[in-house]
Structure 1
């Protein structure tokens, strides 16, 4: 085997090399010891580079049988595929030996991928394996290799969009091809601000990210976890540079004039919702205000913004005992005027959705009869209403707790704390709608618990609110057979377990509940999120992977 391999490496007429001989070399990489232990690295590398040059010079031969997709793959195409696999596996088996030695092959691989990524060839049965293996080889050559990346990145991004292979390759519907494209981009931008900025600051970079981000939802449906994780990892790599600014920057780079919320922006919000540190409150509040009047077109994004705001508030509440808490809130746009605007918007939406809930649930909403945009149907509609109502109720609760904790940490007993929020809910006539949510409805399983907790915070140490609640009856709930009413009338309120509550209704004069209430959550996007556990410090494609 050693003699045969050495003979082949001296071969200068690449037309005489057969696919079967290359297959034997690939198989020999798995033996111990491998033929690479005795072979001359320079000779092997030069031979492989000559092979790539030969394939590029005779690329038209790859179209043999292109018009007959059911025909057997031609010999030129088979040779090109095993050549890409040999390159990939050599680098995987010995990156320190072959990454730099094979760097001259990068330009040849990119040139061949330009040819094979044409629409007629990209997902053609004769080219799928070739495109996949070539991309895997290119990705392995650029794994933790700055010199190779400096050579590759200009070929991918520092060019006219029409000359880059990335947009062409991202049109593939084959996730086996999409995966190495994502890994290649991730390998190239890893830890480099300049290259990361090019993904958000240049038209080509924005197009590449848009095409990747728009695939996330479909990838979840297809259960293609590795492709999903690579794209998520790429977004996290971008955001990690500066969590407060890079996430919003990527989000805004995906905006389109014709859409309230583009699919790319929605995907960015989903990834941001999976991170430990949410983006700045200034960004979240601005988008909250922008999307609130247009829920028909952006309800999923609005729900994610609510989740992110709640997460941001929880961070502030946890830091409340520290000094300078009030100043930090003002710097992060969580001052009283901004909070008041959020509460006003939230109460308005709660009242509007509550007023229309029967029509929305039955699918006969007269106010939307002329809309050209199709409404969510069935379970999606129930979920959207539940997430918006529960999310806004929970958001108001957290804002009250935030302002109370800020006042307590400031040490000013005369501070108004959250009283302005409590009073605002009352003056906006928000109590009837919140009280109506305390009726249990199987279609809105978490809403009741969130509403009870909010009532506790609204009534605590606020005699005016306590006086209002005594005289209120819950609004009519959605008339469904599964609705079970929990009466909150003065003097006869009971918990679900049957234990009597205070005679004033839900809470006593201090605002404390008459029993334990669990604060449930329904973060659908968080249930779907996944963590990327791959190791970026090794080539992603090992021997015989993706054959």
Structure 2
């Protein structure tokens, strides 16, 4: 490998080289070979490069990055025609080779990162120019976009936890978040349809904010919210592709959740024109997964408290919409949000119960993380508690999503549910599950359910419902919790005339045995 020869070649007049197809391709070929060698022999990099020499590789690369950025500048088309650059394909090949070389040189080496910092402005300008207009969708530029994104990632990623190892991350995150059109290359790279470019950009963001509360907080600025919304709005696409982008994107939001910044992020993702935005819904999905997989109690006060007023708002909107009898295109997204909120609240309740079962000392009287949140959920204060709004919502949904039991012949005309709304009929199950969690070993919650006439409603859901798999099972558990050690609730059952007995095998409604009939 002739590393010195590469430096000598690059010391030639950069503009002359960039005007020649032959020179561009010749240097690109040689540089590609060196880049491949370095990728396989990373341990030799510091021996090959003497930064203290009069001219090193990073100094030699500077005029090339500046020249390449200018040559692709669409706003300088007339001037570039006069200069007479080499063909676009030749310049792309040279930029690719130089990008790979520098990417491999600086990875994980702070000293080399500092030496290469002089190129950041030109590399950023080049990224801007190759993601402008139709180039963002031109596959000819995809590989170059990805290599330059990888180069930026290696340039800015902190190499260690030592002091000042993250100064480039601090400096350039602030630049990219400044709001300037030419400075914000992150939003452009996230717009790319190239998987490798998206991957490198997500790695860049993940590495820059990792283990840094201050940089995570900066993502909640106006420009940062645009980045995060862009990522969230592509998560459904990425999860279908199973290419690792979903997991990488989720890791950024898990860091935000672990830093208790998600309530603020959720609010900033909102819109006055929408009940719940698509990006808010995706954030709830990630939060739901986080709550399920991370049962430990969060800081005090619980950062998840925002879920309670969110449940109130979504439930209120749903009831108004259902009662209006009008088609509402927003309703599917509201239903989806309600399902996620109910799942999140249930996960929190189960986590607290699990710690109680394990004998942990839970200080519910204090503002102590999720324990205090569960206390709020169970509160009789309708502005804090979730029992009454859950029952009211369940009652509205029971009309909106009629039950279908194939074993019972009904003469009533059932209005069919639209295909768009069918998947959300499971919302009834999620609400009953939440009530089952809250009523477990808590007769005061059972009293609230009775006072709001919820016992009969939940009892009616112990029948089979083809539109709601497992609704019956959750309803049976909830009924069990409502009856246990609660004579007042038991009296409700005793006053009712049984219409049948549910078969334990298949849920079929069987005739009432003689001994159960009231005399």
Q: What are the residue-to-residue correspondences of 1:423-442 with 2, within 5 Å?
A: 423-442=447-466
- Name 1:27's counterpart in structure 2: 36
Once residues 156 and 93 of structure 2 are traced to their aligned partners in structure 1, the CA distance between those partners, rounded to angstroms, is 25
Preserved contact between residue 429 and residue 474 of structure 2 (Cα < 8 Å): yes
Q: Label 1:30 to 1:172 Cα distance change in 2 as closer, same or farther (>3 A).
A: closer
Q: Label 1:335 to 1:34 Cα distance change in 2 as closer, same or farther (>3 A).
A: closer
1:384 to 406, 411, 424: 424
- Name 1:248's counterpart in structure 2: 263
1:469 to 488, 493, 498: 493
Preserved contact between residue 212 and residue 231 of structure 1 (Cα < 8 Å): yes
The alignment status of 1:453 with 2:467, answered yes or no, reads no
Higher RCO, Cα 8 Å, sep 6+: 1
Number of residue pairs matched? 453
- Name 1:513's counterpart in structure 2: none
1:183 to 197, 203, 208: 203
Q: Secondary structure at the match of 1:99?
A: helix
Q: Label 1:385 to 1:11 Cα distance change in 2 as closer, same or farther (>3 A).
A: same
Once residues 360 and 172 of structure 1 are traced to their aligned partners in structure 2, the CA distance between those partners, rounded to angstroms, is 46
The alignment status of 1:81 with 2:93, answered yes or no, reads no
- Name 1:302's counterpart in structure 2: 338
Once residues 144 and 49 of structure 2 are traced to their aligned partners in structure 1, the CA distance between those partners, rounded to angstroms, is 27
CA deviations 1:106-134 (Å, max 9, x no partner) are 12111111111212211212211111110
Q: What are the residue-to-residue correspondences of 1:50-89 with 2, within 5 Å?
A: 50-60=63-73, 74-89=89-104
Q: Label 1:127 to 1:175 Cα distance change in 2 as closer, same or farther (>3 A).
A: same
CA deviations 1:183-210 (Å, max 9, x no partner) are 222222223333222221x221211111
Cα drift, residue 88 of structure 1: 1.5
Once residues 42 and 235 of structure 2 are traced to their aligned partners in structure 1, the CA distance between those partners, rounded to angstroms, is 42
Cα drift, residue 266 of structure 1: 0.8
Question: Which region of structure 1 is more displaced relative to structure 2, 275-284 or 171-180?
Answer: 275-284
- Name 1:283's counterpart in structure 2: 306
Unaligned runs of 5+ in 2: 18-22, 79-86, 159-164, 319-330, 406-412
The alignment status of 1:152 with 2:172, answered yes or no, reads yes
CA RMSD of aligned residues (A): 3.6
Cα drift, residue 13 of structure 1: 3.6
Once residues 419 and 50 of structure 1 are traced to their aligned partners in structure 2, the CA distance between those partners, rounded to angstroms, is 76
Q: Secondary structure at the match of 1:214?
A: helix
- Name 2:251's counterpart in structure 1: 233
TM-score by length of 1: 0.73
Cα drift, residue 178 of structure 1: 1.8
CA deviations 1:295-318 (Å, max 9, x no partner) are 424111111111111122223324
Once residues 376 and 479 of structure 2 are traced to their aligned partners in structure 1, the CA distance between those partners, rounded to angstroms, is 26
- Name 1:408's counterpart in structure 2: none
Question: Which region of structure 1 is more displaced relative to structure 2, 418-427 or 300-309?
Answer: 418-427
Once residues 100 and 504 of structure 1 are traced to their aligned partners in structure 2, the CA distance between those partners, rounded to angstroms, is 86
The alignment status of 1:219 with 2:238, answered yes or no, reads yes
Preserved contact between residue 139 and residue 183 of structure 1 (Cα < 8 Å): yes
- Name 1:325's counterpart in structure 2: 364
Cα drift, residue 78 of structure 1: 1.4
Preserved contact between residue 377 and residue 387 of structure 2 (Cα < 8 Å): no
Q: Label 1:423 to 1:198 Cα distance change in 2 as closer, same or farther (>3 A).
A: same
Q: Label 1:185 to 1:323 Cα distance change in 2 as closer, same or farther (>3 A).
A: closer
Q: Secondary structure at the match of 2:9?
A: helix
Preserved contact between residue 432 and residue 474 of structure 1 (Cα < 8 Å): no
Cα drift, residue 48 of structure 1: 2.5
Q: Secondary structure at the match of 2:139?
A: coil
Cα drift, residue 421 of structure 1: 2.9
TM-score by length of 2: 0.77
2:49 to 14, 26, 40: 40
Once residues 441 and 304 of structure 1 are traced to their aligned partners in structure 2, the CA distance between those partners, rounded to angstroms, is 21
Preserved contact between residue 439 and residue 445 of structure 2 (Cα < 8 Å): yes
- Name 2:284's counterpart in structure 1: 269
Preserved contact between residue 400 and residue 457 of structure 1 (Cα < 8 Å): yes
Q: Label 1:184 to 1:338 Cα distance change in 2 as closer, same or farther (>3 A).
A: farther
Unaligned runs of 5+ in 1: 65-71, 370-374, 405-417, 478-482, 493-502, 506-547
- Name 2:226's counterpart in structure 1: 207
Q: Secondary structure at the match of 2:468?
A: coil
Once residues 49 and 392 of structure 2 are traced to their aligned partners in structure 1, the CA distance between those partners, rounded to angstroms, is 75
Preserved contact between residue 501 and residue 510 of structure 2 (Cα < 8 Å): no
CA deviations 1:164-184 (Å, max 9, x no partner) are 222233322333222222222
- Name 1:531's counterpart in structure 2: none
Cα drift, residue 240 of structure 1: 2.0
